[in-house]
């Protein structure tokens, strides 16, 4: 821990997801910092459980007072802009927060094409599981449907697979429209493991065919087939809030804040990014809580180094794999190289389901432990940065 001074530094963390909450707790390594966490919701959302919200098998929300270290101020509001010149965060309520350093951890969401170039009917008739509110809306719809009513999930990425599995396990009639291959981020063995369980659950998997139109009661496919659909779930695409661009900060094509390898904005060394909305050297990591937590800790370390007058460390992070739930009793754990490329090695079945549930619980536990023991957070290091970009571009919403 660095030596204390009489000056108190104010750090504002924008976004209270996995990265932002971990970053706020990690900043407590210094007691001469005032920390404000700004989040639009009064509760923490376990995004990795949102597919369970749809099937009513989890709530996916936690109270911040069980996660944040004592002394961290929570402001429930939406950030409308960042004035980097005056170092101010402008809130939708009209309030203004001054900062010395800002950690940009606004997260990500799914996309619902509403433009003429998008898929017709998605904005009007499809449902999303990318946000807590949209997952709740879909849950209400699913709850009111007869168990025999057909449900279509569009998107063969991990979110689509998990949502389709969760619903099919309850005896519902589910079709999964992949667009391309099922699970593009998986190895061949991992894909076979997932496919086998989907078949056991009765999911009708449509590979190599895309949805070209969504209607109120059907989905039209590129091969001309029309699938009856009482509820259509759209899990395709990746988007981030446009806050950085609106605030005059440079972003990549998707809208992620461009940073150097210390996660510092290329435009302002008082702004540091973490999580899904960060693009270090233009090479973003895969959207996942596995990436978000370590990015949050490293972003906080960058701020702590700058306060202490030290050179911040470069990003150092490795992946270990992907764990995909296939209902409550089965899963597939896909092992990966440290650069996030998949090995042709998997663990499946009930053992993998136990691993997946342990990961979900451990993710929350690690945030709580960081709140009481700042600096205790551990992450794997040694991953190859450039190689991750190719893997990241293959993954849809996750």
Domain ranges within the chain, ordered by starting residue: 10-40+77-108+240-317+379-397, 122-234
Q: What is the arrangement of strands in the sheet containing 271-273, beginning at the earlier edge strand? A: 73-76, 33-39, 9-14, 101-104, 271-273
Residue bearing the bigger pLDDT, 396 or 127 = 127
Specify the pTM.
0.93
CATH number for 122-234 (one of 3.50.50.60, 1.10.760.10, 3.40.50.300, 1.10.3720.10): it is 3.50.50.60
Separation between Cα atoms, residue 275 and residue 287, nearest integer Å: 8
Q: In this structure, what are the phi and psi dihedrals at residue 300, rounded to the nearest 5 degrees? A: -60, -40
* pLDDT at residue 332 is higher than 70: yes
**Residue 394 has what pLDDT?**
35
Reported as a single tens digit per residue, the pLDDT across 76-104 is 999 999 999 999 999 999 999 999 999 99
* pLDDT at residue 279 is higher than 90: yes
**Residue 238 has what pLDDT?**
81
Tell me which CATH homologous superfamily contains domain 10-40+77-108+240-317+379-397.
FAD/NAD(P)-binding domain (3.50.50.60)
Nearest to 39, CA basis, from 91, 82, 85: 91
**Residue 116 has what pLDDT?**
46
C-beta of residue 214 within 8 angstroms of C-beta of residue 232: yes
**Residue 235 has what pLDDT?**
95
Q: In this structure, what are the phi and psi dihedrals at residue 268, rounded to the nearest 5 degrees? A: -155, 120
* pLDDT at residue 5 is higher than 80: no
Give me the mean pLDDT over the 193-210 stretch: 97
In which element (H, E) is residue 198 found? Answer: helix 188-200
Reported as a single tens digit per residue, the pLDDT across 284-299 is 999 899 999 999 999 9
Q: In this structure, what are the phi and psi dihedrals at residue 360, rounded to the nearest 5 degrees? A: -60, -45
Give me 131's structure tokens. 């946000």
Separation between Cα atoms, residue 123 and residue 283, nearest integer Å: 30
Reported as a single tens digit per residue, the pLDDT across 297-329 is 999 999 999 999 999 999 999 999 999 999 999
**Residue 301 has what pLDDT?**
98
Residue bearing the bigger pLDDT, 384 or 153 = 153
C-beta of residue 206 within 8 angstroms of C-beta of residue 175: yes
Separation between Cα atoms, residue 311 and residue 324, nearest integer Å: 38
Give me the mean pLDDT over the 165-177 stretch: 98
Give me the mean pLDDT over the 273-293 stretch: 94
Separation between Cα atoms, residue 42 and residue 303, nearest integer Å: 25
Q: What percent of the chain has pLDDT over 90?
A: 90
Cβ-in-10-Å burial (0-12, 13-18, 19+) of 385 comes to middle
SS3 340: coil
* pLDDT at residue 41 is higher than 90: yes
Separation between Cα atoms, residue 362 and residue 369, nearest integer Å: 10
pLDDT band of 7, cuts 50, 70, 90: confident
C-beta of residue 258 within 8 angstroms of C-beta of residue 282: yes
pLDDT band of 397, cuts 50, 70, 90: very low
* pLDDT at residue 384 is higher than 80: no
**Residue 6 has what pLDDT?**
59
What rounded mean pLDDT belongs to the chain?
93
pLDDT band of 385, cuts 50, 70, 90: low
Establish whether domains 10-40+77-108+240-317+379-397 and 122-234 are of one fold.
Answer: yes
Q: What percent of the chain has pLDDT over 70?
A: 93
């Amino acid at each position: 821990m660095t030596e204390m001074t009489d000056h108190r530094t104010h750090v504002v963390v924008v976004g209270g997801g996995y990265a932002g909450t971990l970053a706020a707790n990690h900043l407590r390594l210094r007691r001469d910092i005032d920390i404000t966490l700004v989040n639009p919701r009064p509760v923490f959302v376990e995004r990795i459980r949102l597919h369970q919200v749809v099937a009513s098998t989890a709530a996916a929300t936690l109270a911040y007072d069980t996660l944040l270290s004592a002394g961290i101020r929570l402001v429930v509001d939406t950030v409308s802009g960042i004035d980097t010149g005056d170092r101010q965060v402008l809130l939708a309520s009209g309030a203004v927060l001054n900062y010395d350093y800002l950690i940009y951890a606004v997260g990500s969401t799914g996309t619902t094409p509403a433009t003429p170039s998008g898929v017709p009917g998605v904005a009007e008739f499809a449902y999303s599981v990318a946000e807590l509110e949209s997952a709740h809306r879909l849950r209400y719809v699913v709850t009111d449907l007869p168990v025999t009513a057909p449900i279509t999930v569009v998107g063969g990425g991990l979110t689509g697979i998990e949502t389709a599995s969760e619903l099919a396990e309850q005896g519902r009639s589910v079709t999964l429209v992949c667009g391309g291959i099922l699970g593009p981020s998986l190895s061949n063995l991992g894909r076979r493991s997932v496919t086998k369980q989907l078949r056991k659950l009765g999911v009708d998997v449509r590979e190599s065919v895309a949805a070209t139109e969504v209607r109120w009661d059907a989905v039209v496919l590129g091969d001309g087939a029309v699938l009856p659909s009482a509820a259509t779930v759209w899990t395709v695409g990746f988007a981030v809030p446009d806050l950085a661009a609106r605030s005059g900060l440079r972003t990549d094509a998707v809208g992620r804040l461009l940073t150097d390898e210390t996660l510092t904005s290329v435009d302002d060394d008082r702004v540091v990014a973490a999580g899904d909305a960060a693009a270090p050297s233009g090479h973003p990591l895969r959207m996942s809580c596995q990436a978000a937590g370590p990015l949050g800790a490293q972003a906080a370390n960058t701020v702590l180094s700058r306060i202490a007058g030290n050179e911040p460390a470069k990003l150092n992070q490795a992946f270990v794999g992907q764990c995909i739930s296939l209902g409550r009793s089965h899963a597939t754990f896909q092992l990966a190289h440290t650069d996030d490329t998949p090995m042709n090695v998997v663990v499946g079945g009930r053992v993998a389901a136990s691993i997946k549930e342990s990961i979900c619980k451990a993710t929350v536990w690690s945030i709580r432990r960081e709140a009481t023991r700042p600096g205790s957070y551990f992450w794997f290091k040694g991953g190859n940065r450039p190689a991750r970009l190719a893997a990241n571009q293959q993954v849809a919403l996750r």
